[in-house]
Structure 1
Amino acid sequence: MPQNSPRLNLPYLQPSQAQKHVTHNEALRALDLVVQLNLTSLDATIPPAAPEQGETHALGAAPTGDWSGQAGKLAAWVDNGWHFLTPGAGWRAWDQSADQLKIWSGSAWTAPQVDTQNLSGVGIATGSDSTNRLAVRSPATLLTHEGGGHQLKINKSGAGETASLLFQSNWTGHAEMGLSGSTDFSIKISPDGGNWVDVLRFDATTGTASGAAVQSSAEDITPGRLMRADFGYGPGNVLGAVSENGGLPTGAVIERGSNANGDYVRFADGTQICSVTLGAVGCTTGTGALYASGAAIWDYPATFATGTIPALSGNGGGIVRFVGFDTPTEVQVTYQVLAAASDATAISPTAVAIGRWF
């Protein structure tokens, strides 16, 4: 018959053994140490100066003093002396210093592995439920990289479902962004968690923006709204072809052009200015007390609105010369240069016509 048990090395009572109580008590003492094993410290190397009865330490690789030569063993203070036990692989112990369960792997005390796959729920400092299967209660939540970038994915089963971030105050939703009921990305707000407004929505196909925060038409001047490029003006459309619809500008702010008949500028409000440097003339034909050039016609470089009469002004080209105009039409005007004295010098007059293009 063997002298000790195969697993815990407990001494057996032998036939005709004297003082059986000694062997029995030794086995009970060993059981008392290993059953519900509780460790004061792990990887200990220096024995405490005043240990308490039953105090047990898991020794490190190079213990000293009374523990010298007992590396990797358990040291228990019992009956005013240290007793040493060799742990077996799989032994479990409660680590008082870490307040955590540990398992002896055969070479080190390690935390038991936990199966984290297909859990029904995880609650960190709070409880999870069937809807919120991951619940975290903390001042902040950190998701960081592993040497490169980092993505947070929110997936939904179909276009009509919702994949979004909901922002709440005292459990009432007030803002939400994501894919709500479609594949368009939207930002919504609510004053009460029940009535929601689409503030911004970006079309998944075109990328264009719409929503309550965006200008709804060219006439929309609601304070605080974002101006649409096709309703407002910027470097790309300040200069260009002007146009209108029902009196409202639909094109650029300023249009400038020129041709053989002169230069013109059109403004989005309907104003048009035409200017020209006309052919050089002399003033030698007597007309009453004045001397005149021959009458000529100026065809405007851009037509004025039908039925309107532009205002004309001009410069005769000299201090004693001036330009006279006949009644203008929307397409042309007849003019003549007049002088106080006969002067055959050919000088170019200039003219300006101001009116409306619509």
Structure 2
Amino acid sequence: MYSSRLGLPYLQPSQAQKHVTHNEALQKLDLITQISVECFALDDPPTALEAGQTFALGANPTGEWSGHAFDLACWGGEAWLFITPQRGWIAWGRCEQELRVWNGADWVATTHTPEHAPFFGISAIADETNRLSVAADATLFSHAGAGHQLKVNKATSSDTAALLFQSVWQGHAELGLAGDNMFTVKVSDDGQTWHNSLSIDPSDQSISLTAGSSEVRVSDTGTAIEGTLTGSAVQASVLDDGDGKVMRVGAFGLGSNTAPITTDIDLSNSISTGFYFVENTASGDKPEASGHLIQMRNGGDTTYADTLHAFVTRSNLWLRGFDGGAWSDWTGLGGVHGSNQNGTFLKLPDGTLLCSVTGNLTRVAAGMLSFTWTFPANFLAGSAQEIVVLPVWDRVAAWAIAPGPNEISTPFIASTTENSTTVQARLLPNPSNSFASTDAGFTRVLAIGRWK
């Protein structure tokens, strides 16, 4: 009698030579336990054999294997032991380096090897959707001597290849290629409604950062901002002059009002277009001692070709330009008016200088009244002035003498230097008497010339 599944011989009651039957059963167990064959589908018996070698026969075995198609043949050292495989038996093929299963008709490669397993779970259950499932505190992907890539592939552009981040099995963030070939970072508060926060388009390398209705898009053509800018990087008010801030609508913020030009403003190629404060220690051709300089330059870093200077002071706006060889003269857009102890003056944009004074004539000699006037503003060195004594003059007070109207000359210019002039009035010939020391008069004098 034999076992119903493996066909192992049973020991019979009062059986003689029980060891023979027992050894036959052990030999069969040795063959079918942990099956390992030399080769699959072999038809011709090899000539060099070692005890224990097992072969999975093919459909047309020859020689000593004849009549044992698809059987397992094991060389016992003196004879062959044949066993017919049963459906589901698994054997390892040394020639093929492959694990195969007997399906009742042939030995076929099993799909349940680590290389071909349809599901794989590590401390977790894999299923049709999540065919690889891992439950662990961490998962490590390391290199094999160099770098390492984690690849996520999709079938078509409209499919999704992404990493989904969940909390209690509810998605809240996803990054990857979601429905197209743009790299996208999406977020969701409830796992149902999703918002694109970051998108990178590979077609033009543009980057879009979105939050609600606000969006910042950076591309090779520039940066586009949709929405309102806020925060400490934006001016707190239209008068906020903090460095590095974004200027508000209606504010003044180009350049700096705290960065003085301490060198020669005629060599202003060292600064960029902007607003600057020029200290009185700055050298160069300045229309006034100090003020604010507005520089607009259309040249490179080492030239100031096509440069315009606007020099702003309390009383005037001055303009000049660079024509490629030299700076032009400053032109004021408004006259400069001033006064001091020497009188008043008016500088006109075309370079004309007008100075005026009401001068007191005092006695300098018995028959002469005179005063010397220092101009309230300097005329251009080497230029000529036109001095006009207005025909208006009178006594300061009652004179000690009372010369007749025909006995005193009209005040006239006696002498003129670059920065001053002397005005006199004299008694005419045959005066009845002379001026007293207390006698004085006044007259109005106008000087006209150029200041530039």
- Bin for the TM-score computed over the shorter chain: 0.3 to 0.5
Q: Taking CA–CA contacts closer than 8 Å with sequence separation of 6 or more, which of the two structures ends up with the larger relative contact order?
A: 1
Bigger radius of gyration: 2
TM-score (norm 1): 0.43
